[in-house]
Amino acid sequence: MLARLLGGHYPPPMATPDPDDGLRLRLREARRGTGLLQREVADKLGVSRRAVHEWESGARRPHSKLPEIAALYNASTSWLLTGAEEASVEVRELRQVVIDELHTLGRRIDEVEEKLISLAELTASVFEGYEELLRMSNLDPPVRRSEVGPKPKRRSGGAPNERERV
């Protein structure tokens, strides 16, 4: 029943996106941005007004005229076709400088990491040797101040109290 009401299609057919839709819209937007009429564009490009209309309506693509259109509208062919600007030479060069600098920084980080690992291993080795010396000499390891408590305070006169003289 529902299929008959919808003209025999159920579910109703989905509209397929038109890949040229963006191109036609950007062509119209760029032309309007320059303040030119379709007739003026046609005259400057040596085509009919109908051709310009067909480009902007999506009936035809400008193909060979696209570079001329881009120049006339002061836009890139990349933007007209895709809506995205292609990176300028300066941006590409800057991107390469950043990539090179990141590689350099990565190498430096690796070098520092290796030095830190060596330092940590050396420190562990020194402490192991220190503990071995203490065991061999039958001495107790030093007591850390944090295990004993706070350091006694001096009186304001600067002279140590009786306890501290001992």
pLDDT in tens, 81-132: 888 876 667 777 888 888 889 989 999 999 999 999 999 999 999 989 888 8
Average pLDDT over residues 137-154: 64
pLDDT over 90 percentage in the chain:
44
Burial of 55 (0-12, 13-18, 19+ CB in 10 A): buried
Domain count for the chain: 2
**Does one domain contain both 102 and 65?**
no
Decide if 92 is inside a domain: yes
**Does one domain contain both 75 and 92?**
no
Average pLDDT over residues 37-49: 96
As a whole number of angstroms, the distance between CA 25 and CA 55 comes to 9
**Does one domain contain both 115 and 75?**
no
Q: Give the pLDDT confidence score for residue 20 in this predicted structure.
A: 56
Q: Which domain holds residue 114?
A: 87-141
As a whole number of angstroms, the distance between CA 129 and CA 143 comes to 18
**Does one domain contain both 51 and 97?**
no
Q: What is the mean pLDDT of the chain?
A: 79
**Does one domain contain both 95 and 69?**
no
As a whole number of angstroms, the distance between CA 63 and CA 74 comes to 17
Q: Would you say 20 and 61 are in contact if contact means Cβ atoms under 8 Å apart? A: yes
